[in-house]
Amino acid sequence: MKGDMQRWTPNVASIIEHAKELHPTTEIVSRMISGEIHRTNYDEVCVRARKLASALEKDGYKKGDVLATLALNTFRHLEMYFGISGMGAVTHTLNFRLHPEQAVYIINHAEDKIIFCELPFIPILEALKDQLKTVEKYVILCDESEIPETTLENTISYEEYIKDGDEDYKWPALEDDAACALCYTSGTTGNPKGVLYSHKSNIYHATSAYAALTINKDDCILMVVPMFHVLAWGIPYFGPMTGNKLVMPGMGMEGDSLYELIDKEGVNSAFGVPTVWMQLLAYCRENNKVLDSVKNTIIGGSALSLLCLKSLMKFMTLMLSMPGE
C-alpha cells in the first residue's frame, strides 16, 4: 500500500518553475566578460531553460546523457543547471582551473557529449580536443555575432542553439533516484573522483539549506562560490526556491568589482572562499570602505584563521565559516 500524500517525481526544474510562478520579476544580475552588467529575472530564466531543454531533445540528447559546462557564474550557467538536468540529462560542471591531464581524465571518465564553454576558455579546449573521446559538440556561451574562429569542430553559439527551442516545453517525469548533476573532486589522491547528485538530494538540500542559513525571500545573495564547486553550495537551487535576487560576478573577483556589486545591488548575503574575502578586505582597508548591507557572509572551502575572521568582521556584520567540503 502506498500513501496518497504528495505524490510527485523529483525534478529540479520544478524549482525554477516555482520561481517563475511566485517570483517572476526578481532579478538575476550577472557581470559579463566585457564587464557590463546583464539583468534578467526568474520568468526569463525559466523560459530560456525550457528552450535549452527542448533544443537538447531536438538535437538527439536524452535522459542520462552527461553534458558539461565550462562556465562562469552568470545567468546562462543558471539556465543550464535547470535546462540540462530538467530534461533528464546530467549537468557536469567542469573546473576551468584544473591541470590539463586532470581535465582530460574527467571529461573522458564522465563521457561528456557536449561542452558548454565560455569564450575565454576556448583555448583550454583547443589544447585538449584531440584527447577527448566522447565530445560531439561545443556550445559557446555567447551571442551568434560573438562566436570566434576556432579549431574546435561542430561549434555553435548558445543563443543560436536555444533560438528554436520550445518556450512551452514540458518537463518529463523522472525516476525517483534519477541523476541530476556531476562534480569531480580536486586535490585528492589519485585521479579525481566523481560525485553524482540526484534530483531528490538537491531538492531536499535546498529545502533545508535556506532555513539553516537564515535566508529569506527578501535577501540579495552574492554568489561568489563557483558554480563548478560543489554546485555552488546549493545556491542555484535554494535561491530560486526562496525567491532571492541573485548577483553573480562572472570573472570579476577583484575587490573593487565585488564591492561595486555589493554596494550597487544591495547585497546582504554573500557566499565564497577565504581568498576572495581577503581580496575584498584589502580593497575596503585601502579605500576606507565598509560593507554595511552585508548581514550574512558564508565562508567555506578552507579554514579561516581567527585573525582573518576578526579582520573581516570589522567590515561585515555576521560570519559563518564552514571549512572544507
pLDDT digits (tens, 9 = 90+) for 220-233: 999 999 999 999 99
User: Cα–Cα distance between 10 and 92 in angstroms, integer?
Assistant: 19
pLDDT of residue 317: 62
Backbone angles phi, psi at 18, to 5 degrees: -60, -45
Look at the domain 253-322 and name its fold: Rossmann fold (3.40.50)
User: Is residue 318 pLDDT above 60, yes or no?
Assistant: no
Distances (CA, A) of 142 to 32, 104, 145, 217: 10, 24, 8, 30
User: Is residue 120 pLDDT above 70, yes or no?
Assistant: yes
pLDDT of residue 186: 80
- 211: which residues sit within 8 A by CB, 6+ positions away? none
pLDDT of residue 62: 98
pLDDT of residue 187: 67
- 263: which residues sit within 8 A by CB, 6+ positions away? 291, 293
Q: Which of 64-73, 107-116, 274-283 has the lowest mean pLDDT?
A: 274-283
User: Cα–Cα distance between 274 and 252 in angstroms, integer?
Assistant: 16
Selected from 3.40.50.12780, 3.40.50.300, 3.30.2350.10, 3.30.390.50, the CATH number assigned to the domain covering 21-239 reads 3.40.50.12780
In the chain, what percentage of residues exceed pLDDT 70? Answer: 95
User: Cα–Cα distance between 84 and 66 in angstroms, integer?
Assistant: 9
Q: What is the dihedral of CA 274, 77, 108, 104, to 10 degrees?
A: -50
Which grid cell sits at 82?
Answer: 535547470
Angle in degrees, 0-180, between the axes of helices 75-86 and 42-58, rounded to the nearest 10: 50
Domain ranges of the chain: 21-239, 253-322
Which grid cell sits at 19?
Answer: 520561481
pLDDT of residue 83: 99
Give all strands (DSSP E) within 178-283, no chain letters.
179-184, 194-198, 220-223, 245-248, 269-272
pLDDT of residue 306: 77
Asked if domains 21-239 and 253-322 share a fold, the reply is yes
